[in-house]
Structure 1
């Protein structure tokens, strides 16, 4: 993601390096905020707040943790605070779910229903389950990275993901039976 040299230069007070660093991570920061909070306005606010916090706290980063997990911890904590206050719904663009391009109109309609079903199912998850799902399946974090980002034991992360998948399975039961809403 980001070179260690850039991080070290930013920590040493190189303003240009710090600005470059923030520009390199801003998309990842926004994406996490958007998927957890569910709307552009809150995600932009949380992203800006996270980038400011990273800017002011870069000197506290220790290389024993991966930089991306340190950043995600900051973003996730800010989002969880906002999420607890607002309880919004996640809005997931069906194109973000890596669906293959539809060969015909019928496939496109089905893909839109699938994306909507998945979005609604994720919205129903408790916040801690939603967060691990976002980090695992939308940000592609490993179990260890999620555990480090959320300051949770790895077995708790696995348990949350297991429960979230089971709950998603229940929520998506209609789709799994082959039915498409009309």
Structure 2
């Protein structure tokens, strides 16, 4: 397991410790990269995004090489895909790449698999409950675009259009 701790939220290190402890109990190798070189609050956004992405993918490549693993698997699900579609529409991303993520991808010399992408978060929670897999609460702050989207925009769109708009966003991503 690979965990990137950006240290942007007070609880992020405790979350990383939680994942490391659980992986240890399960006999899963755990690799952590704590990013302290750049702070979201004090680094210009474009520099922060580019630099942390380079750190992240460099670490993925390092871990893949160390263990001879073929790819990194992410836990992205339908909700993440739907958020990406909205973000990419706002950024005027080309429609042919509106999803911004695929089940199988290759970014910065790293193969990426997203096996949970076809699933909604409720299905993942149901699995976790059924099999006793612990998880932490999403504490993405309102200060972030994603946090504001999850807590304000998505509920507003659901109120306005019903939950069917989520399926429409997913369809756009295909």
TM-score normalised by L of structure 1: 0.27
Structure ranking higher in helix proportion: 1
The structure number with the bigger radius of gyration is 1
